[in-house]
């Protein structure tokens, strides 16, 4: 039995090792990237409107983690994506999608628990009750479970085949108007 629990920034920061365990199991990243990822996550916990859900087994072990925050100018992802959308689709589109947005930064489910509705429940749970106009995120631009799941929730493509500065993998930037439709 998996339950969802909202986790405050302080607890999220204290339990970053557990968060990284889920992230590592789900994403299988190169090990030399983990300390940098941990620092980025710690920094994210201080962003305004931070919200986090843990999906936990009955003994309290996290098997899923999702978090996001209110996007603001000065945040790296926000500034890069806003500029790119403005260049491709115009300033009005950039303002419309990113001017008042919940930015979903990370959503991961341990492989042993994937395909059971945990990811869907975490995304809808994070969006529920938010006052922002939109929710936005980036994900690898490939036919993944994540891409399928976001589309089925109502996310649309804002940018495709997008390469972040300093990166090489291609991402899709997605957005949905809040509140989510039933
Ligand atoms: C993306 C992720 C969070 C989804 O979590 P989850 O608990 O497995 O998601 P759910 O069970 O709620 O839904 C998965 C959906 O994807 C579908 N799916 C599973 N594998 C798929 C695949 N290879 N291709 C397309 N769709 C797939 C499932 O059928 C389900 O869709 P449905 O509800 O229409 O049947 C999880 O797969 C994961 O952690 N992946 C690795 C990390 C990652 O990519 N995170 C997102 C980064 S942006």
Go through the domains of the chain in sequence order and give each one's CATH number. Answer: 3-177 (3.40.630.30)
What is the per-residue pLDDT across 22-62, written as a single tens digit (0 to 9) for each? 999 999 999 899 999 999 999 999 999 999 999 999 999 99
Considering only CA atoms, which of 46, 38, 52, 176 is closest in space to residue 107?
Answer: 52
What is the per-residue pLDDT across 92-150, written as a single tens digit (0 to 9) for each? 999 999 999 999 999 999 999 999 999 999 999 999 999 999 999 999 999 999 999 99
pLDDT at 92: 98
pLDDT at 114: 98
Q: Please check whether residue 82 is in contact with residue 138, taking contact to mean a CB–CB distance below 8 angstroms.
A: no
67, β-bridge pairs:
52, 106
Considering only CA atoms, which of 182, 149, 64, 165 is closest in space to residue 174?
Answer: 149
32, β-bridge pairs:
none
What is the per-residue pLDDT across 67-94, written as a single tens digit (0 to 9) for each? 999 999 999 999 999 999 999 999 999 9
User: What is the C-alpha to C-alpha distance for residues 95 and 86, in angstroms, rounded to an integer?
Assistant: 8
For 56-85, b/e burial (b = at least 16 CB within 10 A) is beeeeebbbbbbbbbbeeebebbebbbebb
pLDDT at 139: 98
- pTM for this prediction: 0.97
Atom of ligand 1 nearest to the CA of 27: 42
Average pLDDT over residues 163-167: 96
Per the listing, tokens 């949905």 go with 176
Neighbours of 156 (CB within 10 A): 11
Pocket of ligand 1 (CB under 6 A): 26-27, 107-109, 114-120, 139, 143-146, 148-149, 152
Q: Is the pLDDT of residue 182 over 90?
A: no
Atom of ligand 1 nearest to the CA of 66: 3
pLDDT at 63: 98
How many angstroms is it from 116 CA to the middle of ligand 1? Answer: 9
Contacts of 32 (CB under 8 A, 6+ apart): none
pLDDT at 16: 98
């Amino acid at each position: 039995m998996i339950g969802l629990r909202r986790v405050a920034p302080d607890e999220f920061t204290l339990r970053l090792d557990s968060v990284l365990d889920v992230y590592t199991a789900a994403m299988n990243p190169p090990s030399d990237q983990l300390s940098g990822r941990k620092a980025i996550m710690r920094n994210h916990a201080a962003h305004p409107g931070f919200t986090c859900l843990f999906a936990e087994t009955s003994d309290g072990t996290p098997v899923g983690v999702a978090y996001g925050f209110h996007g603001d100018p000065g945040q790296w992802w926000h500034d890069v994506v806003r500029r790119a959308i403005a260049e491709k689709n115009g300033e009005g589109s950039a303002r419309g999608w990113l001017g008042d947005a919940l930015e979903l930064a990370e959503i991961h489910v341990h492989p042993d628990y994937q395909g059971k509705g945990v990811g869907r429940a975490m995304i809808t749970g994070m969006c529920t009750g938010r006052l922002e106009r939109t929710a936005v995120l980036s994900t690898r631009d490939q036919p993944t479970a994540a891409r399928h799941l976001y589309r089925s929730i109502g996310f649309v493509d804002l940018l495709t085949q997008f390469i972040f500065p300093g990166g090489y993998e291609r991402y899709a930037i997605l957005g949905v108007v809040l509140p989510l439709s039933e």
